[in-house]
Amino acid sequence: MILKTLVAQLISRPATNRFPVKYMPKSVTRFLAQVQEGKAKIHPPVPVPPKFRGKIAYDREKCIGCQLCIRVCPAKVIEFKPEVKKIRMYVARCTFCAQCVDACPVDALSLSPDFLLASTDRLAPELIVE
Amino acid sequence: MSARNPKDNDPVLPAVEERVVERELVGAEAALGETFAVPIGPIHPALKEPIRLTFRVRGERIVGVDIRTGFAHRGIEFMGMRQGRNLIQILYLAERICGICSVSHPIAFTQAVERAAGIEVPPRAQYIRVIISELERIHSHLLWAGVAAHELGFDTLLHLTWRVREKVLDVLEELSGNRIDYAIPIFGGVRRDIAPEQYPKVWEAIRYYRGLLEQLLDAFLRDPTVEARTRGVGVLEPKEAEELCAVGPTARASGLRKDVRQDRPYLAYPDFQVRAITPEDYGLTPVGDVYDKIVVRLLEVEQSLNIIEQALENMPEGEITSFPKIPALLAYLKKAEGEGLGWHEAPRGEVIHYVRLAAGEESLLVWKVKAPTYSNLLSWYPMFEDQEIADIPIIAASIDPCICCMDRVYLVRGGKEEVWPKEKLLKLSWEKTRRMQR
Ligand code: SF4
Ligand code: SF4
């Protein structure tokens, strides 16, 4: 019984998702450049399901400045810019409830599959959507 | 609750006087005779949540315990009452009372508000709520089983159970978009439908767990190590469970057939004929020890699979919410007036939300939450009685405590903590009820 399990474990795939590369490259930027040129390969990230709630995407053109998203957002993520009647979102505060997406009357907001949002700076440019 | 010795004002080691067990001392214990206090917590006492347990021990045996809570009071109810939030925002606050029961609290809360405001929930939405909450039960029970194995020092089993648990999280992610905090219920319905192309994923998960169930039962219940560490440990007698108002699997492991889904069916639950699970269903006489709690939780995984199966097969067609437009919902809720109670059988037991709405007010007038651990905490007293120090972690974990959900009030006045005896609490509660009735 134990032997059977052991052999099965040896030949079965690992249960966890794989790292992009097996060993840490000496220079990450150089490695990424190589990947871009097609010289090196990385394990692709695990795909997310179609309705995944990732970073909120904002279509500035569609937005009519009705502020409904601001009224329903539980985490005070969204700020109104009265001069241009558009909004600004601080993604670091977002709880990914997608209530703003449901509330928006013109579908200016949507969910992207982007989930790699870790940062040491809450106000980093990639964490502000406007 | 705790009778305090006026002489003993040491802030670190408070007096422990409850239910000191007197029994005949034998051998080395007789030589030890005296008791001493072992403080555990408030940081990370076996569980990853703050609570302080002070054990009075004689040798290796526990003779008394003092439980202090209140280290993680977050003031969630206060934030929901007249703090400038509207009900939709409060819904997500309710979801964050517990990260593991993260659909149970919204289900109870939405029901309370729906009763208060007189909102109907379409049948399809009720079914979706049931499916999500049963999936959550599977994930929570498997999580608990893993934690229990870890507390026993059986980490292989922990990793095996948690690996198995990934599947149900994937399904929840597929259905809701989030692994936890699914944000599915909303007043008057649910926010996401289960699309036809998603059914196969759920069915696949059901088949996966059906195939694994026997293995899980085998790994936990027919393992001599697990049995030796859990049989006769942390016993909660049926009578005590009843007297102390234990809920959920804690009560059911003691043989009480107590389940809100059975006793007061709500949403679509009347359709599924839920019957509370006790160890008798596994052919055992209920003892109320940790072993029985494992039995009940594993059998409930199977029960949840049955419910999800039935729900998927009989899913009614139709609307998923009676308020498709958010502004209409907000306007309706602002006008609503009344009080309502919502309940749900969370994985840990019964959760209750009470709300009171006032016309013209966007937020809540009154909001009261009772999390299952609040009812279960008192069962710790008899469970710890006369046990060994080494069994503290597994006994503490056996009620599946969720301390942060439970901490509802904590008073510190002028830097001094106050202990309110039962009589004072009763008096205050009468006064408050009178105030509210006015
Ligand atoms: S997803 Fe939720 S928390 Fe994030 S911006 Fe939208 S409403 Fe606010
Ligand atoms: S709800 Fe939509 S249209 Fe209105 S302000 Fe927000 S993003 Fe713009």
Q: Which of A9, A12, A17, A53 to mutate to test the interface with B (most CBs of B within 10 A)?
A: A53
Distance from CA of B291 to the nearest CA of A (A): 25
Distance A93 CA to ligand 1 centre (A): 8
The finding on whether A129 has its CB within 6 A of some atom of ligand 1 is: no
- Read off the tokens for B305: 């699979």
pLDDT confidence band for B2 (50 / 70 / 90): very low
Average of per-residue pLDDT across A78-96: 89
Q: 10 Å Cβ neighbour count for B258?
A: 22
The lowest-confidence range among B197-201, B398-402, B411-415 is B411-415
Confidence at residue A111, expressed as pLDDT on a 0 to 100 scale:
87
pLDDT confidence band for B25 (50 / 70 / 90): low
Positive or negative, the Cα torsion across B71, B76, B81, B85? positive
Distance from CA of A76 to the nearest CA of B (A): 10
DSSP label of A91: G
Q: Is A51 on the interface with B (CB under 8 A)?
A: yes
- Global confidence as pTM: 0.85
Query: What are the sequence ranges of the domains in chain A?
Result: 2-37, 56-129
Amino acid at B170: D
Average of per-residue pLDDT across B407-419: 65
Instruction: Verify whether the Cβ–Cβ distance A102 to B326 is below 8 Å.
Output: yes
Identify all chain A residues contacting B326, using CB atoms and an 8 Å cutoff: 68, 72, 99, 102-103
* Residue B178 to residue B187: CA distance in whole angstroms: 20
Identify all chain B residues contacting A96, using CB atoms and an 8 Å cutoff: 177-178, 181, 183
pLDDT tens-digit map of B130-183: 999 999 999 999 999 999 999 888 888 899 899 899 999 989 998 988 888 888
Average of per-residue pLDDT across B62-69: 84
pLDDT tens-digit map of B359-373: 888 888 888 888 888
Q: 10 Å Cβ neighbour count for B285?
A: 9
Query: What are the sequence ranges of the domains in chain B?
Result: 6-72+383-437, 121-335
* Residue B395 to residue A63: CA distance in whole angstroms: 55
* Residue B71 to residue B51: CA distance in whole angstroms: 6
- Read off the tokens for B253: 């492991």
- Whose tokens are 């990385």? That residue is A42
Higher pLDDT, B305 or A121: B305
Confidence at residue B409, expressed as pLDDT on a 0 to 100 scale:
61
Confidence at residue B178, expressed as pLDDT on a 0 to 100 scale:
87
> Among B176, B192, B326, whose Cβ lies nearest the Cβ of A72?
B326
- B29 class by beta-carbon count within 10 Å (0-12 exposed, 13-18 middle, 19+ buried): middle
Identify all chain B residues contacting A2, using CB atoms and an 8 Å cutoff: none
pLDDT averaged over every residue in chain A: 84
Residue of chain A nearest B90, judged by CA positions: A74
Confidence at residue B1, expressed as pLDDT on a 0 to 100 scale:
38
Q: Decide if B18 contacts B65 (C-beta within 8 A).
A: yes
User: Percent of chain B scored above 90 by pLDDT?
Assistant: 24
> Among B88, B96, B176, whose Cβ lies nearest the Cβ of A72?
B88
Confidence at residue B4, expressed as pLDDT on a 0 to 100 scale:
42
User: Percent of chain B scored above 70 by pLDDT?
Assistant: 88
What is the architecture, at CATH level 2, of domain B121-335?
Orthogonal Bundle (1.10)
Q: What is the number of the ligand 1 atom nearest to the C-alpha of A93?
A: 3
Name residues whose C-beta falls within 8 Å of residue B84's C-beta, 6 or more positions apart in sequence: B363
pLDDT confidence band for B438 (50 / 70 / 90): low
* Residue B438 to residue B429: CA distance in whole angstroms: 14
Instruction: Verify whether the Cβ–Cβ distance A74 to B178 is below 8 Å.
Output: no
Confidence at residue B24, expressed as pLDDT on a 0 to 100 scale:
60
* Residue B305 to residue B299: CA distance in whole angstroms: 10
- The alpha carbon of B26 is separated from its chain's Cα centroid by a whole number of angstroms, namely 39
pLDDT tens-digit map of A90-110: 988 898 888 899 889 998 998
User: Percent of chain A scored above 70 by pLDDT?
Assistant: 100
Asked if pLDDT for residue B15 goes beyond 80, the answer is no
The finding on whether A77 has its CB within 6 A of some atom of ligand 2 is: no
Amino acid at A76: K
pLDDT confidence band for B12 (50 / 70 / 90): very low
What is the architecture, at CATH level 2, of domain A56-129?
2-Layer Sandwich (3.30)
Distance from CA of A33 to the nearest CA of B (A): 32
Average of per-residue pLDDT across B395-404: 82
Asked if pLDDT for residue B109 goes beyond 90, the answer is yes
DSSP label of A21: S
Average of per-residue pLDDT across B30-52: 74
pLDDT confidence band for B32 (50 / 70 / 90): low
Q: Decide if B226 contacts B154 (C-beta within 8 A).
A: yes
